[in-house]
Each structure stands twice: as C-alpha cells, then as structure tokens.
Amino acid sequence: MQKSFQNVQAQAYANGAARGARYLQTISSRQVKAETGAFARLDPGLATDGMTVEAILDLMEEVGGEGTVASASGRYFGYVIGGALPAASAARALLSAWDQVADALTGPSVVRMEETAIRWAVDLLGLPVGTSGAFTTGATMANMTLLVTARDALLARQGHERGAGLHGAPKIRIVASAEIHATVLKSLRMAGLSSNDIEWVPVDREGRMDIGALPVLDDRTLVLAQAGNVCSGAFDPFEELGELCKAAGAWLHVDGAFGLWARASRQLEHRLKGLEKADSWVVDSHKTLNTPYDAGLALCRHPKEMEASMAIGAGYLPAAESNPANRAPEFSRSARGAETWAALLSLGRNGVAEMVERFHRHATRIASELRALGFEVPHQVHFNQVFTTLPSAEEACAKIADHVQRSGEAWFGQAAWQGKKGFRISVSNWSTTDDDVSRLITAIAQAKRDLGV
Ligand SMILES: *Cc1c(COP(=O)(O)O)cnc(C)c1O
C-alpha cells in the first residue's frame, strides 16, 4: 500500500531529528576537530535515480557528522562562534517543518515572533524607544543594510535624490576605527562606498578608538565604531563619540556583532556607556546569544530611513507596514528571527545577563591562568575575548594552537594583534563549563611542554 506524502515526509523528518539528537548526546565527549578522511564518499556521482532518505541520512551521519568541527561544543574557543541553546535549536527543528517565508502574508506567526524578538532585543540592549530593524543572515549583511541606509540618509540631507544612484552624488566622509572588523570594509564596498579614503582613527593599547585623534566631524560623515574588538573584546567610547556625532550631525554606526549583548548585564553594561546615542547598531544572534546559524540583526534609530532604503514596493504587494522585506535586503528568506525569539524566551533577562557574565568570568580566568603559564595577555579582559602571546617565543604560538587543535581536546586559532603574534581565545558557547576551561588550560600547558617552549 502506498503511504501518503505526509507520512513519508513526517517519517523522514523524524529520522533526521533522531540523528540530530544522537549527535547532540555525544557532542560534549567527542573530539573537537573534524575527521576529513572519508570526504570522497560525499560525491558518489550524480546518479540517474535518487537515493532513499535513509541512505542519504546514513551518509550524512557517517561522513558529514564525523566531518564536523564540534563548534557547537563547550570546548570550542575559536573565532566567536557560539553554540545553539536548546530552545533555539529545537525552534529551528520545528521551523524547518513549517518551512515558512518571513513575510507578513505567508508567514504571519513567524513574522510576529521576529518583530517581538526585535522589540525585546531593543529593550534588553537599552536602545532608544522607536528603534526597530530586521533580521539578516549575519552581521556582514546587517552592516551592509545599515551602511546603505546611512549612505542614503546622509546623501538625502545633501539634497541628493534617493534612488538616483551614486553617480554624481556628493561625497560621504567615512571615519573608522583602525581596528574595525574586516567584514565592515566589505559591507562598505557592497554599499557602493569606497574603503580607500577612510579617515582612520588610531586605537589605544586596548583596541579602543582614541577619541582625541578623531577628525573634525560634519553632517556628511559616517562614523564606524565597534562594540567588541575581536582580539581584546574592548568597546569604543560611545559616550564621547555619540556627543560629537550628534553635535556635528554625523551618523554613528556601531558594529556589535558579538559584543552588544554585554549591555544586557548590570555588571558589564557600564563598558558600553552611551551606546544608545548611536544611529544604528548591528548584533548577531548566532554568536553570543547562541542561536543556530545564521541570524544577525540590523537595528536603527530611524526605521523610516531603513524603509526608505530597503522597501520593495512591487505593485502586487499590499503596503503592509509589517513586511520585514521592507527593512532588509532579502525578499524571500527563512524565519530565522523566530529562533532569537525562542532563545530570549528561554533565557529571560536574567538568563542573558547570567550567560554573558559567565563568558566574562571564564575569559578572566583563562587570562589569569595563561599569565601563570608565562604567557602575556596585553589587554584587560573587557568581555569574552583573550589575545595572548609568548613574549620570548611569538612564533611558537601558532604551533601551540595547531598542537591543541590536533589533540581534539579544544579548538582556538592563531592570531596577530597590534604587532604581536599569538593566539586568541573566545568564550561564547552557552554550554562551556569550568571543567571545559580546565581542559583547555591543561591542553595549552601540555602543548607548551611538548613543544619545549
Ligand atoms: C563576526 C563578526 C562580524 C561578521 O559577522 P557575520 O555574522 O559573520 O557576518 C562583524 N563584526 C564583528 C566584530 C564580528 O565579530
């Protein structure tokens, strides 16, 4: 007897979910590095006839699963990746069954979840009333969305018509921190702005913009600051920047991909004092908040400006205020913001604060234990990032990172910062425990001994 399509689909979904559950059950004990030896099996050739779901999932599990870096585990300290909170990955699973497009007409409930999540994030981060925004695939796209918005707003103030393109447009000045994230430069180029004539602002030893070295601003200037330096975790001086930008009529944009969430903690929020004075902010859900990839948020004090730049306005679309496609680059996309909604529901205010404070506590301990092992940490622990070097043997740092990666005990990467070679540790996984931190430190000490440095 033939099964209904529905049964087949439900069974396939349950099969995939069961394997996902198996993976999650073993994630804390598995090695962090990937097994790549069997990757050739991932290309059995494009067959004339298709494979069964069971066979596809077997292949995925055996080769794909073993071929993952366990970046969702508590012993992954590379880049700023983050894991996925139970509620957020469960929401992802349910969303994948719903397969909704984030559009007010075809995905009304998920759009409501996204809009709710945006309001909660604005509240939690202490941003001005009236701030709104949209979900994107990540901070790169969120930065691009807001740089396009800022560009259009600054040009419109000069009398340049929106939609007239950049040809013959007045010049926009760009003032940026010397340590702005590399992807912001890409976002700038995607926004049609040049990264060649940026007026760079030098940073201090912590990686913060040196406010005394800021050029004179005017109302044609876009200022690019950051909340969370990728090496030191440091925050730019938003209070002073905000006042200067406001007085000059400049647009202040803050890239807070991982660092903005520190604002949710009473203990840490003073480090981001004045953040609310900016015009636009970017924050990822998929990093510090620990939702699954990919989800970033573009937030703007002037949502009407965002809509003026991003609205679609096709004849067959109703002028629905709540269509997220009118505030973001994509037209059709997944309802990724619903995972942020689930993450915030599961943590609550206290949970978010407790989580970011835990990241800070682990990072503080890591810095102090590294110093005890003879490493130099040339910055204060501002948030969750630790850059370190061996003053007498900088070259050995990459080898130490490599040695630990190969051991499968933990994962972090080499880095160079302010003329020093070293490695960088990021604490951004909800499930990282004190024991995971101990294993990290032990692995580093072992690598140092094995390499004789
Ligand atoms: C990761 C990161 C980005 C880019 O974010 P994606 O979500 O990977 O696009 C931008 N800025 C900072 C500070 C980051 O850490």
- Around Cβ 159, how many Cβ atoms within 10 Å? 7
Indicate whether residue 257 lines ligand 1 (CB < 6 A).
yes
Give the distance (Å) from ligand 1 centre to CA of residue 248. Answer: 28
Is residue 212 located within the same domain as residue 279? yes
Best CA proximity match to 427, nearest among 346, 366, 344: 366
Residue 277 lies in a domain: yes
Q: What string of pLDDT tens digits covers the 453 residues of the chain?
A: 456 888 999 999 999 999 999 999 999 888 999 999 999 999 999 989 999 999 999 999 999 999 999 999 999 999 999 999 999 999 999 999 999 999 988 999 999 999 999 999 999 999 999 999 999 999 999 999 999 999 999 999 999 998 889 999 999 999 999 999 999 999 999 999 999 999 999 999 999 999 999 999 999 999 999 999 999 999 999 999 999 999 999 999 999 999 999 999 999 999 999 999 999 999 999 999 999 999 999 999 999 999 999 988 766 666 655 789 999 999 999 999 999 999 999 999 999 999 999 999 999 999 999 999 999 999 999 999 999 999 999 999 999 999 999 999 999 999 999 999 999 999 999 999 999 999 999 999 999 999 999
**Burial of 232: CB neighbours in 10 Å, binned 0-12, 13-18, 19+:** buried
Is residue 43 located within the same domain as residue 179? no
* Closest residue to atom 2 of ligand 1, CA basis: 257
Indicate whether residue 234 lines ligand 1 (CB < 6 A).
no
Encoding tokens for residue 429? Answer: 């996984």
CATH number at residue 389: 3.90.1150.170
Give the distance (Å) from ligand 1 centre to CA of residue 256. Answer: 8
How many CA within 13 A on the CB side of residue 148? 24
* Closest residue to atom 1 of ligand 1, CA basis: 257
H or E element in which residue 15 lies: helix 5-26
CB 404 within 8 A of CB 451: no
* Closest residue to atom 14 of ligand 1, CA basis: 257
- pLDDT at position 2, please? 58
Best CA proximity match to 302, nearest among 322, 279, 283: 279
End-to-end Cα, the chain, rounded Å? 69
Indicate whether residue 284 lines ligand 1 (CB < 6 A).
yes
Is residue 410 located within the same domain as residue 262? no
Atom of ligand 1 nearest to the CA of 228: 13
CB 150 within 8 A of CB 253: yes
Is residue 355 located within the same domain as residue 307? no
- pLDDT at position 323, please? 87
Residue 235 lies in a domain: yes
* Closest residue to atom 12 of ligand 1, CA basis: 257
Per-residue pLDDT reduced to its tens digit, 21-48: 999 999 988 899 999 999 999 999 998 9
H or E element in which residue 218 lies: none
CB 252 within 8 A of CB 279: yes
Number of domains in the chain: 3
Atom of ligand 1 nearest to the CA of 140: 9
Is residue 366 located within the same domain as residue 323? no
Give the distance (Å) from ligand 1 centre to CA of residue 257. Answer: 5
Is residue 151 located within the same domain as residue 204? yes
Indicate whether residue 183 lines ligand 1 (CB < 6 A).
yes
Atom of ligand 1 nearest to the CA of 296: 7
For residue 46, give every residue at least 6 positions away whose Cβ sits within 8 Å of its Cβ, in sequence order, or none.
none
> Could you give the dihedral angle defined by the CA atoms of residues 147, 150, 154 and 156, in that order, rounded to the nearest 10 degrees?
100
Indicate whether residue 121 lines ligand 1 (CB < 6 A).
no
How is the chain split among helix, strand and coil, in percent rounded to 5? 45, 15, 45
CATH number at residue 278: 3.40.640.10
Residue 81 lies in a domain: no
Helix (H, G, I), strand (E, B) or coil at 231: coil
> Rounded to the nearest 5°, which phi and psi values hold at 416?
-125, 135
Q: How far apart are CA 284 and CA 241, in angstroms?
A: 22
- Cα of 182 vs its chain's centroid, Å: 13
- Of 315, 343, 371, the residue that ends a domain is 343
- Of 282, 309, 343, the residue that ends a domain is 343
Is residue 325 located within the same domain as residue 360? no
Atom of ligand 1 nearest to the CA of 258: 15
Please state the three-class secondary structure of 337-392 as a single string: HHHHHHHHHHHHHHHHHHHHHHHHHHHHHHHHHHHHCCCECCCCCCCCEEEEECCC
Identify which of 146, 255, 272, 340 to mutate to test ligand 1's pocket (most ligand atoms within 8 A of the CB): 255
Best CA proximity match to 321, nearest among 339, 343, 303: 303
Write out the residue range of the structural domain in which residue 434 sits: 350-450
Residue 102 lies in a domain: yes
Is residue 139 located within the same domain as residue 266? yes
- pLDDT at position 207, please? 98
- pLDDT at position 5, please? 87
Is residue 309 located within the same domain as residue 399? no
Residue 198 lies in a domain: yes
Please state the three-class secondary structure of the chain as a single string: CCCCHHHHHHHHHHHHHHHHHHHHHHCCCCCCCCCCCCHHHHCCCCCCCCCCHHHHHHHHHHHHHCCCCCCCCCCECCCCCCCCCHHHHHHHHHHHHHCCECCCCCCHHHHHHHHHHHHHHHHHCCCCCCCEEEEECCHHHHHHHHHHHHHHHHHHHCCCCCCCCCCCCCCCEEEEECCCCHHHHHHHHHCCCCCCCCEEECECCCCCECHHHCCCCCCCEEEEEEECCCCCCCECCHHHHHHHHHHHCCEEEEECCCHHHHHHCCCCHHHHCCHHHCCEEEEECCCCCCCCCCCEEEEECCHHHHHHHHCCCCCCCCCCCCCHHHCCCCCCCECCHHHHHHHHHHHHHHHHHHHHHHHHHHHHHHHHHHHHCCCECCCCCCCCEEEEECCCCCCHHHHHHHHHHHHCCCECEEEEECCEEEEEEECCCCCCCHHHHHHHHHHHHHHHHHCCC
Is residue 334 located within the same domain as residue 276? yes
CB 199 within 8 A of CB 174: yes
Is residue 45 located within the same domain as residue 130? no
H or E element in which residue 79 lies: none
Residue 80 lies in a domain: no
Residue 83 lies in a domain: no
H or E element in which residue 299 lies: strand 296-300
Residue 84 lies in a domain: no
Indicate whether residue 139 lines ligand 1 (CB < 6 A).
yes
Is residue 165 located within the same domain as residue 252? yes
